[in-house]
Amino acid sequence: MGAVRYSIQTIRLLIASDPQAESRQESARLKSLVILLGQTRSAALTGTSFQKHVIDAFSREGEVDVALCRCEGYEEPDDFFRSIAKYCWEFPEPVTWSAVYRATAGELGVAHPAEWERLKDVPGNWLGEIDENGEKRIGSAARCLFLRYFALQQLRQRMLLGEYTHFILSRSDYLYIADHASLRYLTPDRIWIPRGEEYGGITDRHTIFSPHHASEVLDLLSPILRSAHWLTALMGYGTVPWNLESFVKLMFIRYSVYASVRRFPGTMYLVRSDQTMTSWSQGTYDAALGFRVKYLAEKACAEANAAMLEAQGYSRESVCRQTIPERFDTFIHSSTPVTFSLARWPRKRWQRFRRERLRWI
């Protein structure tokens, strides 16, 4: 009896009609790189949960590697994250971040490398840790923006963008209480963020993206250095302070990728010990846990998501059901009643933004 032969089209239809076959194909080609940005801290509190709920969970779907992107001199003794990292990209700790920004502008060929400093007049902590008038602005956003840019340069120089299907930009002080959402459901055509803690913009703490979106997610620094004039006109309009989340959202709109943003239920929250340095929230001490929880609303959200996923299972529906994109000028996703910057923009300001953004270089 002769062998049965199928056309290519028939084989594709058979695969499409078999969800398990599709899942096996997706799992076979998944390869992810978790990039931990900034100081590796609270490893004693978060290392075990990171191994169990991120590394082990992703390993069941494919290959996973870890990269550290930070400044020199912040390694903790017996650093768990350094021991599991395949890559460690370190930048010399600068005296001032303004000098780093000016040098980077020169490398980008900006005609006036110091022109970006006019953006220091834009209020808010969106440039936290930048030096002005002999003092540093509260926060660490300026450091974070540069380290994102530095990570992109490392990925390009080492030709790693084509090596992975997913990149996870995150932090080391996340405590996971359940497995991370499956990468099979976080499709590479979207930019994925955990729902909540967005403060009128897009959270900068945890982002999942594909190589296709690497430049848009990581390079938020170039517009500051190249387009300071237009950014000043947009961001300096009025007196509303900006935060990093609202600036990330503005850049996603500028890069025309905001429509690709989707949200998934996060199962982690930020923690710290009393010995861990922080430039922002000190957190609330939890006697039952024995350490500080940085944001109680984030903890409550993670616990609710973990309970939901335990009851419903990690299915495409349970992971992606909260991913309806918000309207261009509607802000409904902040987990706190506090709204910032973009959330307060009046209609006329949005109209001006739509006109001005077409003229950006």
Q: What pLDDT, on the 0 to 100 scale, is given for residue 59?
A: 95
Q: How far apart are CA 260 and CA 15, in angstroms?
A: 27
Strands 166-170 and 31-37: parallel
C-alpha separations of 167 from 23, 35, 142, 172 in Å = 20, 7, 22, 15
Q: Residue 254: in which H helix or E strand, if any?
A: helix 244-254
At position 49, the amino acid (one-letter code) is S
Q: Whose CA is closest to 334, among 221, 193, 220? A: 193
Of 94, 88, 220, the residue nearest 146 (C-alpha) = 220
Q: Measure the CA–CA gap between 318 and 309, rounded to whole angstroms.
A: 7
Q: Which amino acid is at 24?
A: R
Cβ of 15: how many Cβ atoms within 10 Å?
A: 13
Structure tokens at 154: 């490392």
- Rounded Cα gap, residues 350 and 337, in angstroms: 22
Residues in the chain: 361
| Rounded-to-integer distance, Cα 119 and Cα 121, Å | 5
Burial of 161 (0-12, 13-18, 19+ CB in 10 A): middle
**115: phi then psi, degrees, rounded to nearest 5:** -65, -30
Nearest to 114 by CA among 103, 130, 124: 103
Q: Which residues of the chain have pLDDT under 50?
A: 1, 3-4, 6, 8, 11-16, 21-27, 323-344, 357-361
CA distance 53 to 292: 21
Closest CA relative to residue 262, chosen from 339, 188, 337: 188
Give the pLDDT confidence score for residue 346 in this predicted structure.
52
Domains in the chain with CATH codes = 31-357 (3.90.550.10)
- pTM for the full predicted model: 0.81
Closest by CA position to 116, among listed 93, 100, 137, 129 = 100
